[in-house]
């Protein structure tokens, strides 16, 4: 009976390990197109497409979900998701477990009938600003310090449709400016057909940051998964496959941008 019990326990352990291995990797982030997008139209974002292709080659399935940003960060930190998509600055649960997958710059968007232009930080102090809760806009610099203050002119949106909510508030003249990643603003304005009613009135000077994917420190396989992605991206870059995916989203390879004078 003792031997039978041992064998039974071993078989159950092997079965559990097989089931666990068969579970898809959980990718989470908020709607941050073109990096990661609403997958309903067949274009889930270039980061998602790259990861799907890399892990498919390893026989690993992925499951992608859009969540409010602060919740997505918590999910990865606690091990309730495996990879956080498109994080900047100190959003990674463990800075050692992240890989660069793009770049970040901050733009200012207002209505097309407004003459406001950004020249320096003082230009922002009297504006009603719309931002997304939990985001960083200049890697903890003076802009982030201003946005984290108790300024009643700063409105912080949250939820799965935070940027959409901010753009609707802008159209309703409830706020004066929306701040976000330049590529993300352009994509969302186009999707909402607001191109004729809005304008980008400045880019935050002197700011360019890396966008990463971050792996869960609660996952014992995190380092191995990170190495798989690192090698996979390098291979896709060599073969031209990465460029083909990026072209679908009108995005330039971040490695080329980083090395351009």
* 66 and 182 both lie in a single domain: no
In whole angstroms, give the CA distance from residue 159 to residue 138.
22
DSSP string computed for 139-181: TTSHHHHHHHS--TTEEEE-STTHHHHHHHHHHTTS-SEEEEE
Residue pLDDT, tens place only, 112-159: 999 999 999 999 999 999 999 999 999 999 999 999 878 899 999 999
In whole angstroms, give the CA distance from residue 254 to residue 235.
15
* 163 and 233 both lie in a single domain: no
In whole angstroms, give the CA distance from residue 97 to residue 35.
19
Query: pTM for the full model?
Result: 0.85
Domain membership of residue 185 as a residue range: 106-203
Strands 177-181 and 106-111, sheet pairing: antiparallel
The burial class, CB within 10 Å (0-12 / 13-18 / 19+), for 19 is exposed
* 199 and 119 both lie in a single domain: yes
Maximum Cα–Cα distance for the chain, whole Å?
A: 84
User: Is residue 53 domain-resident?
Assistant: yes
Q: For tokens 């996979």, name the residue.
A: 232
* 36 and 125 both lie in a single domain: no
Length in residues, the chain: 261
* 115 and 158 both lie in a single domain: yes
Question: Domain with 76 in it: what CATH number?
Answer: 3.40.190.10
Q: For tokens 């600055």, name the residue.
A: 89
Domains contained in the chain, number:
2
User: Is residue 5 domain-resident?
Assistant: no
Residue 235's SS3 state is: helix
Residue pLDDT, tens place only, 204-251: 999 999 999 999 999 999 999 999 999 999 999 999 999 999 999 999
């Amino acid at each position: 009976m003792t031997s039978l019990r041992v064998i039974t326990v071993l078989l159950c352990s092997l079965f559990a390990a097989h089931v666990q291995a068969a579970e898809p990797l959980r990718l989470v982030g908020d709607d941050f197109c073109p990096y990661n997008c609403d997958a309903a139209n067949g274009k889930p974002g270039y980061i998602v497409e790259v990861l799907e292709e890399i892990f498919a080659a390893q026989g690993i399935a992925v499951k992608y979900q859009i969540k409010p940003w602060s919740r997505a960060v918590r999910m990865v930190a606690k091990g309730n998701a495996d990879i956080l998509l498109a994080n900047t600055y100190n959003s990674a649960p463990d800075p050692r477990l992240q890989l660069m997958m793009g770049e970040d710059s901050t733009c200012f968007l207002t209505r097309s009938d407004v003459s406001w232009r950004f020249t320096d930080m003082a230009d922002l102090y009297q504006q009603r600003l719309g931002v997304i809760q939990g985001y960083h806009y200049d890697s903890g610099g003076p802009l982030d310090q201003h946005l984290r203050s108790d300024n009643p002119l700063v409105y912080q949106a949250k939820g799965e449709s935070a940027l959409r909510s901010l753009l609707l508030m802008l159209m309703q003249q409830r706020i004066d400016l929306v701040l976000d990643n330049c590529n993300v603003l352009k994509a969302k304005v186009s999707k909402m057909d607001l191109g004729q009613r809005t304008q980008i009135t400045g880019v935050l000077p002197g700011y360019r940051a890396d966008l990463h994917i971050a792996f869960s420190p609660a996952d014992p396989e995190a380092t191995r998964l990170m190495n798989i992605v690192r090698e996979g991206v390098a291979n896709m870059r060599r073969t031209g496959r990465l460029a083909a995916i990026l072209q679908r989203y009108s995005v330039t390879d971040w490695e080329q941008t980083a090395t351009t004078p």
